[in-house]
Amino acid sequence: MDLYEFEGKALLTRLGILTPRGSFCRDASEARTVADALGYPCVVKSQVLTGGRGKAGGIAFVEGPYQLPAEVQRILELPINGQLPAGVLVEQRLPAGRELYAAVAFDASRACPVLLFSPRGGVEVEAGAASLLRVPVGVDQLPAATPAWVTARVSAGLDAAERASLSPALLEAIGRLLANLLSAYCEHDLELLEINPLIAYGDGLTATDAKVTVDDDAFFRQPGLVLSERPPLGELETRARQASLQFVDLEGEIGLMANGAGLNLSLLDAVAAFGSSPANFLDTGGGASTAKAYEGLRILQDRGRRDPRVRAHLVMLSLAITRAREATQGIAQAVREHPDDPVPTFAVVHGTGADEGRRILEEVGIKVAPDIRTAVEWAATAERKA
């Protein structure tokens, strides 16, 4: 789960890391109160869980109170990548300073956390122009990762010109900050803790942005990190989650469903290779029961009924999987109960027992293709019923 910027900054504040003064506001009148207390000029930042906020117009610099309500209202109503903000963060506007980059992430191949640092932060890191210094910290080294230890590692990793550009006191502050981030990273089950830009004013550091991702599988034991409700899931996402299905909307023309994550990815690629587009990703998982498969196809049917771009449903089942026969029965049941579905259903079944699976599906009028290519071709050229 990703945190909103203001939630990430609240975590940094608890760690003793400086951030610009400011508050999260849900509407223009709250924003006015906060801005008046901060003084002008100030910054208004859209609180969304997606990137590209600055380019999309989600950040405004406000010179005085006369500008504030209109800017707050504009940002609150501005969707970014289809997402409306939970509110805005109103902050004091800081003078320009030297932009650095600091983060902690996983090094998957070494199986340990890795500290990331660049003396050239901001857009240069985002554009991939600045190379990041990587300091992996082995799990057995974690107790020894003191500020002095981190400072020495960072200092040794920088090239001579980069090191010369940072004063010894600033280097120490960077080491202290990274060591601090590292312990929070482990304590709070984080997958990513990133500050970009991290601004250096003299020898002091201020975090003007925060990107934090918490491990979904450990979220149950990290309740203090989330301060605002998440945007409500769409109806289909909610139904999918309740049925333990993974659903991602992709807005194309073929509704897809398969019993396995890799199989689903492979099916997306097959659809794109044919020149068509997937309407969604829907993984029932390996051990799909009758009920899960039924609900999966019901979700495709309901989505397809509302979206006239959808021309076909395409179900792929690997019958090698335990209880795959149950899954075919769930799909057949959904088709049998909804003969008025305007979108035709196609299927492809693979593996042992494919003949029986095919028979179960064909009995209710589902066209079963001999291979994926044929199935995709049928689906991509199918027509909705009027």
Which residues sit at the interface with another protein, rule CB under 8 A?
50-51, 106, 108-109, 111-113, 128, 138-140, 186, 189, 191, 215-218, 246, 248, 250, 258-266, 268-273, 278, 281, 283, 286, 318, 320-322, 350-352, 371-373
Roughly how many angstroms between the first and final C-alpha of the chain, as a whole number? 41
Closer residue to another protein (CB): 27 or 269? 269
* Shortest distance in whole angstroms from residue 147 CB to another protein: 22
Least gap, CB of 262 to another protein (angstroms): 2
Q: Which is nearer to another protein, 59 or 186 (CB)?
A: 186
- CB nearer to another protein: give 23 or 277: 277
Show Cβ contacts of residue 94 under 8 Å, excluding neighbours closer than 6 positions.
20, 199, 206, 208
Closer CB to another protein, 68 or 271, in the complex: 271
Q: Which is nearer to another protein, 124 or 203 (CB)?
A: 124
DSSP 47-66: --SSS-TTTTT-EEEE-STT
Measured CA distances, 42 to 29, 48, 72, 120 (Å): 15, 19, 12, 25
265: enclosing H helix or E strand: helix 261-273
> Least distance from C-beta 250 to another protein, angstroms?
7
Between 72 and 182, CB nearer to another protein: 182
258, 264 contact by CB (below 8 A): yes
DSSP string, 136-178: E--GGGGGG--HHHHHHHHHHHS-HHHHHTS-HHHHHHHHHHH
Residue 175, token pair as written in the block: 């080491």
Q: Considering the complex, what minimum distance in angstroms separates the CB of residue 286 from another protein?
A: 6
The letter for the amino acid at 330 is G
Which residue, 51 or 365, is less far from another protein as judged by CB? 51
Q: Which is nearer to another protein, 41 or 370 (CB)?
A: 370
- State in angstroms the smallest separation of the CB of 192 from another protein: 8
DSSP per position, 287-311:
T--HHHHHHHHHHHHHHHHH-TT--
Q: Which two tokens stand for residue 54?
A: 């600055």
Q: CA 67 → CA 26, 41, 45, 64, distances in Å? A: 17, 10, 14, 6
Yes or no: say if 119 and 112 are a contact pair by the CB < 8 Å rule.
no
Residue 218 beta carbon to another protein: minimum distance, rounded to whole angstroms: 4
- Least distance between another protein and beta carbon 274 (Å): 11
Least CB distance to another protein at residue 29 (A): 33
Contact 196, 211 (CB under 8 A): yes
